[in-house]
Amino acid sequence: MFNPRSLLSNLRRKAISPASITPTVANTAKANTPQRQPKPLTPLQQQILVRIEDCYQQAEIYFKRTFARPQTQFTLRGRSAGTAHLQQNRLRFNPVLLRENSEAFLAEVVPHEISHLLCFQLFGKTKPHGREWQSIMLKLFKVSPNTTHSFDTQSVKGKDFEYRCACGPVRLSIRRHNKVLRGETRYLCKRCHTHLTFTQAAE
């Protein structure tokens, strides 16, 4: 039976060196901005990279073929724990939720996202959580194929703003709110087809 506490303990004992880790952490600096040194990885983020490599070695034994290792970033914001970018062979993880849910990340989130990449490389385009993805989760990683996490996201909840339409109050994210303020767009309610008007910011 999979034991996340045992896995976490084992990963902590493993020596971490740049040469021993295949996945790369992308430099997200824009081309037109001064180059900044990437932030050093935390010990927990290093453990995630080791876990990724372990999962890929397991997959190569199971499928009897090699897989290109993904680019890995710890830049995801909001309420998502992780995302897999299929065409780019890239993984992104939420550093805040990682700190708060380290055992679940190692045991479930990393295999979940890697299964998306493996599924795409093995079968091409399929349903995001279809039977091919579920099969990899169950048969290869022995992890229940849950489609969403149940983490407490209060600490990563973004500020939102209250708007109104004929139906009543509607909450918009700060990104959409800023677009309204800049005059870039206006939003319509899909039910009553009236424009949303700003009332007040959420506390």
Give the C-alpha separation, 187 to 36, whole Å.
37
The closest of 83, 53, 82, 81 to 68, measured between CA atoms, is 53
Give residues with Cβ within 8 angstroms of 161, minimum separation 6.
171, 172, 173, 174, 177, 198, 200, 201, 202
177 assigned ligand-binding residue: no
Closest Cα to residue 81, out of 132, 151, 182, 145? Answer: 151
The rounded distance, in Å, linking the Cα atoms of 25 and 71 is 6
Catalytically annotated residues: 113
**Any known ligand binding at 112?**
yes
CA distance 50 to 12: 10
Give the phi and the psi of residue 94 in degrees, each rounded to 5. -85, 110
Tally Cβ neighbours within 10 Å of residue 54.
17
The crossing angle, in degrees rounded to 10, of helices 43-63 and 110-123 is 40
Rounded CA-CA distance 29/39 in Å is 11
Q: Which residues are annotated as a binding site for Zn(2+)?
A: 112, 116
